[in-house]
Amino acid sequence: MSNATLLLEGKEYALPVIAGVEKEIAIDISSLRAKSGAVTYDPGYGNTGSCSSAITFIDGERGILRYRGYPIEQIAEKASFVEVAYLLVYGELPTKVELATFSLNLTRHTLLQEDMKKFFEGFPNSAHPMGILSAMAASLSTYYPDTEKREPNIIRLLAKLPTIAAFSYKKSIGQPFIYPRNDLTYTQNFLQMMFAVPCEPYVVNETVDRVLNLLLILHADHEQNCSTSTVRMVGSSGANLFSAISAGISALWGPLHGGANQEVLEMLQNIRSEGGDVRKFVQMAKDKSSKFKLMGFGHRVYKNFDPRASILKKAADDVLASLHVSDPLLSIARELEDIALHDSYFMERKLYPNVDFYSGIIYRAIGIPTEMFTVMFALGRAPGWIAQWKEMVDDPTTRINRPRQIYTGARERAFVPIGERERTLVTA
- List residues binding ligand ACO (CB under 6 A): 256-258, 260, 285, 293-300, 349, 351, 354-356
Kindly state the smallest distance separating residue 79's Cβ from ligand ACO, in Å.
20
Question: What residues are labeled active site?
Answer: 299, 356
- The rounded distance, in Å, linking the Cα atoms of 92 and 388 is 15
Q: Is 134 or 240 the residue whose CB approaches ligand ACO more closely?
A: 134
Residue 75 and residue 217 in contact, taking contact as beta carbons nearer than 8 Å: yes
Residue 12 and residue 6 in contact, taking contact as beta carbons nearer than 8 Å: yes
Residue 26: what are its φ and ψ, rounded to 5°? -140, 145
Kindly state the smallest distance separating residue 304's Cβ from ligand ACO, in Å.
14
Q: Is 41 or 415 the residue whose CB approaches ligand ACO more closely?
A: 41
Kindly state the smallest distance separating residue 416's Cβ from ligand ACO, in Å.
40
Half-sphere exposure of residue 335: CA atoms within 13 angstroms, side-chain side? 15
Around Cβ 147, how many Cβ atoms within 10 Å? 14
Residue 56 and residue 384 in contact, taking contact as beta carbons nearer than 8 Å: yes
Q: What is the number of the residue whose Cβ is closest to ligand ACO?
A: 298
How are strands ordered across the β-sheet holding 11-19?
3-8, 11-19, 25-27
- The rounded distance, in Å, linking the Cα atoms of 73 and 312 is 11
| 52 DSSP 8-state letter | -
Q: Is 129 or 298 the residue whose CB approaches ligand ACO more closely?
A: 298
Concatenating the DSSP letter of every residue in 286-347 gives: H-GGG----TTB--SS-SS--HHHHHHHHHHHHHHHHTT---HHHHHHHHHHHHHHTSHHHH
Kindly state the smallest distance separating residue 154's Cβ from ligand ACO, in Å.
23
Q: Is 110 or 225 the residue whose CB approaches ligand ACO more closely?
A: 225
Kindly state the smallest distance separating residue 236's Cβ from ligand ACO, in Å.
22
Kindly state the smallest distance separating residue 66's Cβ from ligand ACO, in Å.
17
CA distances to 278, 310, 311 from 218, in Å: 28, 11, 9
3-8/11-19 β-pairing:
antiparallel
Q: Is 36 or 269 the residue whose CB approaches ligand ACO more closely?
A: 269
Q: Is 184 or 295 the residue whose CB approaches ligand ACO more closely?
A: 295
Alpha-helix residue ranges (DSSP H) falling in 174-222: 186-195, 206-218
Q: Cα 193 to the chain's mean position, in Å? A: 23
